[in-house]
Amino acid sequence: MEPVLETAMRQFHQAADRIELRDEMRELLTSFKTVYQTDFPVNMDNGSTKVFSGYRVHHNSARGPMKGGIRFSSIVSLDEIKALAMWMTWKCAVVNVPFGGAKGGVICDPGTLSSSELQDLTRRFTSEIAPIIGPDRDIPAPDMGTNAQIMAWMMDTYSMEQGYTIPGIVTGKPVAIGGSEGRFEATGRGLLYVLQEHLAAEGGVRDRTVSVQGFGNVGGVAAKLLCEAGARVQYISDVATALHHPEGIDALAAFAHVQAGGTLRTWLDEHPNAAEEVAHEDVLTADVDVLVPAAVESVLTEHNAGDVRAKLIIEGANGPTTSDADAILNERGVMLIPDTLANAGGVTVSYFEWVQARQYLHWSEEQVNAELRRVMTDAYHNVISRCPLNSGGMCTQREAAQWIGVERVVEAIELRGIFP
């Protein structure tokens, strides 16, 4: 399997080749402004002390403060964090929000930690990275394995060390302490808006058959919203269970169960006629109109891309498709809407939350969603303008999004110049 950082670099160089980017700018944009690694102790509930490893990476700050999630996962690695930080740079540029790319993570299994252990780990990690984050420097957000509560602990820890409340230090926090309405559903909702725009001339998403891989904050929300919009979600999966129903799964009920602390396994146990269990690979190779990979990186590879039967892929996860799989899918004529566009709803509403925090304002959910639709729709049409749907395979949407992202970052670098 292609390493995730190699995928990110190959995507960049492919775009750089097409826009004839000069060598010194390539070197700059494949460098990382700050790479911060820390090993820190946490007191465990049994009285022992355990050392955890964490990272925070800044890719590029030419367009503004760094922005990126915090990931708690046993598979976190420095190369993964670097790749995600680079993708975040392009993503922010594609939707034209004034941030650069960052990412962070701690190597841990949050499911094995108690609430008190998770809080202690979060607070200690926040204290460790405090010198390189800040509301004007680097603004963390939730990612895989983290949530609004963890952002609340991060905000409180940073604020206590500064001596006053700083709501703009993180986004994705609870609304009660300065979070934004609509932030929780933002990534899935942004994906829906892009998909609706893409299919507008063909009747929209109603009655489309869909397979969603991953049932967390992105995939679960996307499945729920697609159901509400009239799509027929035939396949869903989480890390342990994959489900199918030819007439469509009640993703609203399944997601409500998961949000209440259950899993797809326990939901199926309670509703045995709601779906049948299938193999996980069936979710990716389902004979559906739309495939939504919304779990982790590198799930579509050279080994299974030839088996994909969906006519359209829209990426909910970061980096779910390797470069080799991209080439196979493009050769087969499978349309793919890339992650740097499709899942940018999260960072877009994070930007709205940051703006609200800095101005001490509170927007309604209707206002947030209306602005999100405007930003995502504009970004989609910018990408399509660079790579028209009838371009005959001359370019892909991923390439077009990369061109836009790289060009906007290069423009900012050239306007600012190099200090001193």
First to last CA, the chain: 42
Q: Residue 233 pairs with which residues in a beta bridge?
A: 210
Helix (H) or strand (E) holding 102: strand 100-107
- Residue 251 and residue 259 in contact, taking contact as beta carbons nearer than 8 Å: no
* DSSP states along 20-36: T--HHHHHHHTS-SEEE
Told to judge if 103 belongs to the known catalytic residues of this protein, a careful annotator would answer yes
Look up tokens 């995730």; give the residue. 4
Helix (H) or strand (E) holding 389: none
CA-to-CA dists, residue 362 to 164, 218, 354, 367, angstroms: 20, 24, 11, 10
Q: Which two tokens stand for residue 397?
A: 């949407």
* DSSP states along 132-160: G-BTTTEEEEE-TT--HHHHHHHHHHHHH
Active-site pick, 33, 82, 91, 103: 103
- Residue 284 and residue 213 in contact, taking contact as beta carbons nearer than 8 Å: yes
Q: What is the SS3 assignment for 178-232?
A: CCCCCCCCHHHHHHHHHHHHHCHHHCCCCCCEEEEECCCCCHHHHHHHHHHCCCE
- Residue 314 and residue 219 in contact, taking contact as beta carbons nearer than 8 Å: no
Could you list the active site residues? 103
